[in-house]
């Protein structure tokens, strides 16, 4: 389970990349617009992890959409957390769903979805999608904007 911290202690500080997701700390801050239903999107176009079998790097474009409730994620802590997967041996499905579940555990958002668009290894891309359920009524939900695989670069 990822560590949770209230506040932005990593922001503005020199922080080494955590060696693993277990060593990372996701920070949350109070949502300044808790009364509003809105969508926040984070896109990580250079996400990397390791194949748990071969140890070779795997690359993905992650798109994380969430409707905040009381908390929003502090973006530097999210970048460090995502970077901590660089040395993590895990299948695409594990990485994608784990990130979604960790964010839900930290933020308890009104709604969250994650799309993991993995670049092919062995000739086949694997796309992984996870959400907490149906989006709340009235939430503006744009398409994630990632085309079907045709050399995704």
85 closest CA partner among 106, 101, 99, 64: 99
CATH code of residue 113: 3.30.1130.10
Which domain range does residue 48 map to?
A: 3-131
The confidence score (pLDDT) of residue 152 equals 54
Residue 60 clears pLDDT 90, i.e. is over it: yes
Q: How many domains does the chain have?
A: 1
Question: Of 58, 65, 95, 102, which one is the catalytic site residue?
Answer: 58
Whether residue 91 lies inside any domain: the answer is yes
At 138-153, the pLDDT tens digits run 999 999 988 776 665 5
Whether residue 147 lies inside any domain: the answer is no
Whether residue 73 lies inside any domain: the answer is yes
Whether residue 145 lies inside any domain: the answer is no
Active site residue 6: no
Residue 88 near residue 95 (C-beta atoms within 8 A): yes
117 closest CA partner among 134, 141, 95, 89: 95
Residue 126 near residue 47 (C-beta atoms within 8 A): no
Whether residue 120 lies inside any domain: the answer is yes
Question: Of 6, 51, 69, 127, which one is the catalytic site residue?
Answer: 51
Q: Which residues sit in the known binding site for substrate? A: 73-75, 92-93
At 11-55, the pLDDT tens digits run 777 889 999 999 999 999 999 999 999 999 999 999 999 999 999
């Amino acid at each position: 389970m990822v560590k949770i911290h209230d506040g932005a202690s990593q922001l503005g500080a020199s922080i080494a990349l955590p060696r693993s997701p277990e060593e990372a700390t996701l920070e949350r801050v109070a949502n300044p617009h808790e009364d509003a239903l809105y969508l926040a999107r984070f896109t990580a176009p250079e996400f990397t992890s390791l194949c748990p079998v071969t140890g070779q790097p795997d690359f993905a474009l992650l798109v994380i959409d969430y409707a905040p409730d009381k908390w929003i994620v502090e973006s530097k802590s999210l970048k460090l957390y995502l970077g901590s997967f660089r040395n993590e041996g895990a299948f695409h499905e594990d990485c994608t769903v784990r990130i979604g579940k960790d964010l839900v555990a930290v933020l308890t958002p009104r709604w969250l979805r994650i799309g993991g668009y993995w670049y092919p290894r062995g000739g086949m891309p694997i796309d992984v999608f996870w959400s907490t359920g149906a989006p709340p009524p009235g939430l503006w939900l744009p398409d994630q904007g990632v085309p079907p695989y045709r050399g995704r670069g």
